[in-house]
Amino acid sequence: MAEVLLFHHALGLTDGVGAFAEELRRVGHTVHVPDLYEGRTFTDLEAGAGYAQEIGFGTLVARGERAAEGLPAGLVLAGFSLGVLPAQKLAQTRPGALGALLFSACVPVTEFGGAWPAGVPAQVHGMDADPYFAGEGDLATARALVADAPDRRLFLYPGASHLFAEYGAESYVPEAAALCLERVQCFLDGVER
């Protein structure tokens, strides 16, 4: 079974993020879910993003790096939206990373030192009409990440919801979330520890 470090989105460590982690634990994976907001949560994406800007993205990434300290090298790094920042940085820079799961966001690899590391598989999941993912360049970045890389995959789901796997939220899309979870579980089952 895989060990996963999962970072939350701009709403903070919500019940929906916890429910996603629990689904992975239920099938035997170990999942760590640090709180980068230190207890704050939001119900509005714009307010949560504003708080992230106030704290500073560098601070949030540093908190993510601290969350990885003391955990084994062989982690799968995962993040929802804003949480992709620390997840992707760790996947690209932390020795021994076993994989990356990026939900509703993807950052150019040049942000974290250049090329994607060889032997680190990845999945990127997003909705094809999500104004943030598709409309702000993340989709194009994801396509570049997976181009000519058989161990990296992009999965697009029909719809415009940004946090489509956020259980219990208005943005939740059950069919897409279920398929995403199934694909994630297959990915984790295939990761070698």
Please tell me the predicted confidence (pLDDT) of residue 144.
96
Residue with tokens 């990296």: 152
Locate tokens 């990356």: which residue?
Answer: 100
Domain that holds residue 152: 3-190
Residue 43: pLDDT band (50, 70, 90) is: very high
Spatial CB neighbours of 94, under 8 Å, sequence gap ≥ 6? 68, 73, 75, 77
Check which CATH number belongs to the domain holding 61 and give it.
Answer: 3.40.50.1820
Q: Which two tokens stand for residue 56?
A: 């500073």
Contact 138, 108 (CB under 8 A): no
> pTM higher than 0.85, yes or no?
yes
Q: Give, for 64, the enclosing helix (H) or strand (E).
A: helix 57-68
Domain count, the chain: 1
- 59: pLDDT strictly greater than 80: yes
Residue 130: burial class (beta carbons within 10 Å; 0-12, 13-18, 19+): buried
What pLDDT is recorded for position 114?
81
> In angstroms, how far apart are the furthest CA atoms of the chain?
41
* pLDDT, mean of residues 100-121: 95
Q: Do 141 and 111 meet the contact criterion of CB atoms below 8 Å apart? A: no
| DSSP structure class, residue 110 | G
**What tokens does 54 get?**
């106030």
Mean pLDDT value across residues 173-189: 97
Average pLDDT over residues 15-20: 97
Task: Report, as an integer, the average pLDDT of 12-23.
Answer: 97
pLDDT tier for residue 16 given thresholds of 50, 70 and 90: very high
pLDDT at 33: 98
